[in-house]
Structure 1
Amino acid sequence: MAHSTPPRYSAAELIEELREAAEEIVPELNGIRAEETLEGEAAQMIEEMVDALKRIAGGAPRPQDLARVALEANTPLKPFGRPKNTVVKMQKPRC
């Protein structure tokens, strides 16, 4: 009897799931931002690797350099999710 494998998540779905998981645990982490969690960093790394692979597949010059940069994971973490404690005040018009 052959077993069928369940469908795999796409990279975009994995990134979304990881970021949602990061946002869910942040309230318990006392000051750690979502992008600083393991899930948040994993999401960004997957995103960067997907971007590098797409560029390589598209014929970008120096594919080894693109791959090397993606694997080094030295880019700053990009914030995502809801901003914390953001207060926006409406300006009163001057008459």
Structure 2
Amino acid sequence: MAITKGSPYLKIINKQIGWMHRVGLIGKWLKQYLPEKDQCSVSVSASEVNNHKVNLDDMQGSFFVLFLGFAVSILLIGIEFVMKKYITARERRIIQPFVT
């Protein structure tokens, strides 16, 4: 909890949190609301994580998103170009009155 250092409520709140911890409420809440540990939650050793070299397989998703962005942008530029040509051709067909 975020409480200022000189708050008059700090002692009361610390006392109540300590009481909840002693009677087991916090432990019960942790068991009830946190997921059980399974094979995915087992931590990997730090040396294995530090010695891993990034290769192309690790970056495959990033490149896919990058090329997908390129493809969408090229498609949108093409659509804008076609729409501009269509609008200018349509405006040329309209006869404008000559006003002086």
TM-score interval (norm. to shorter): under 0.3
**Richer in helix (by share):** 2
- The alignment's TM-score, normalised by the length of structure 2, stands at 0.26
- The alignment's TM-score, normalised by the length of structure 1, stands at 0.27
